[in-house]
Amino acid sequence: MQVVPILAQQAATVRRYVEETGLPFDILVDESRDVVKAYGVWHRAGLTAWNIARPAAFLIDRGGRIQWSFVGRDQAEFPSHEDILSQLDRLDRPM
């Protein structure tokens, strides 16, 4: 399993955040918003920001197929850790 967070922000901002928090994984910086647009989570304007991505989580299998997704309606809506772990467990079971 691999975790790949994608942040649609400026690289310098992400770099500072990674240095401050010491995250144990890499982050894909999507300054151009190409990735978030491809996944359909970009939106031009929200109540508190513009040119941003909605909070989202995708579980993608080794074949590149999306097996589960969550897309928040606003910047405060995120999937719970329990929901993500439950979906991972479901995908890990043989059919």
Distance CA 91, CA 61 (A): 8
pLDDT at 94: 63
Percent of the chain with pLDDT over 90: 24
> In the predicted model, what is the mean pLDDT of residues 14-34?
89
Q: Which domains does the chain have, with CATH numbers?
A: 6-92 (3.40.30.10)
Distance from C-alpha of 16 to C-alpha of 22, rounded to nearest angstrom: 10
- Tell me how far apart the alpha carbons of residues 29 and 78 are, in angstroms, rounded to a whole number: 20
Quick: pLDDT tens for 46-57: 555 566 778 888
| Three-state secondary structure string covering 13-62 | HHHHHHHHHCCCCCCEECCCCHHHHHCCCEEEECCCCEEEECCEEEEECC
Would you call 11 helix, strand, or coil by DSSP? helix
Residues 37-90 have pLDDT tens digits of: 998 888 776 555 566 778 888 988 888 899 999 998 887 888 898 998 999 898
pLDDT given for residue 61 in this prediction? 85
